[in-house]
Structure 1
Amino acid sequence: MPKYASLMTLADRDVQNAQELASIWGELETELDQHEATLEDSYAILGEYDFLVIFEADDREAGFKSALAMRRHGLEGQTMPIIDVENISQLVDEI
């Protein structure tokens, strides 16, 4: 199953407290499940972006829908497909 990483910032969502911020992840996990995707990990990060979200999706369409779902929850950013470093050697061998 393809994996994706999203670098996100809190954009349109006005978060008043830590509990409200935590609720975003529960809502997001539920919605990703509806789009044939699974939330793997999420991290708060320092710098240009606020969060790193890693998820798996059944296919590219499910990945796209999942990225749009994050926007609906007030998260803006960039989503890109990723692969494990261990798989890079296999890709190189195939070229």
Structure 2
Amino acid sequence: MAKYVALVDIREQIQNAQELASVWGNVRAEFEEFGVTLDGSYAVLGEYDYILIFDAPDRDTAFRAGIAVESHGMDMQTMEIIPIDDFAQLVED
């Protein structure tokens, strides 16, 4: 499994907190259908509204996760991430 981080912006008007909670419930269910494991979701102060950290079995599945989020009125920029120790090993080789 690869690990990804996604920067998420809400592009449609959300009426209230209950509606937003419902949207995230739907996103979580779709992630589970795709075999995506959501490690964490955070609200962010700043340029983005949320950060998601998730595991996906492959790049195609990560794309599906992005499409699922975007279908709920949000923009998602996804990046594959690796631990610093793994990166250091790549540099040494």
Query: Match of 2:2?
Result: 2
Deviation per residue, 1:24-51 (Å, 9 max, x gap): 2211111011112111111110111101
Query: Which blocks of at least 5 consecutive residues in structure 1 are unaligned?
Result: none
Report the residue type matching 2:11 in the other structure.
Answer: A
Tell me, in whole angstroms, the C-alpha distance in 1 between the residues paired with 2:38 and 2:73: 17
> Is residue 69–residue 76 contact of structure 2 (8 Å, CA) maintained in 1?
no
Shift of 1:86: 2.6
Identity of aligned residues (%): 45
TM-score scaled by structure 2? 0.90
Query: Match of 2:84?
Result: 85
Query: Which blocks of at least 5 consecutive residues in structure 2 are unaligned?
Result: none
Report the residue type matching 2:72 in the other structure.
Answer: H
Aligned CA RMSD, in angstroms, stands at: 1.2
Counting only pairs closer than 5 Å after superposition, residues 14-25 of structure 1 correspond to structure 2 as: 14-25=13-24
TM-score scaled by structure 1? 0.88
Shift of 1:71: 0.2
Tell me, in whole angstroms, the C-alpha distance in 2 between the residues paired with 1:49 and 1:18: 17
SS in 2 for 1:80: strand
Report the residue type matching 1:8 in the other structure.
Answer: V
Aligned residues: 93
The runs of 4+ residues in structure 1 deviating greater than 2 Å are none
Counting only pairs closer than 5 Å after superposition, residues 1-95 of structure 1 correspond to structure 2 as: 1-12=1-12, 14-94=13-93
Tell me, in whole angstroms, the C-alpha distance in 2 between the residues paired with 1:18 and 1:85: 36
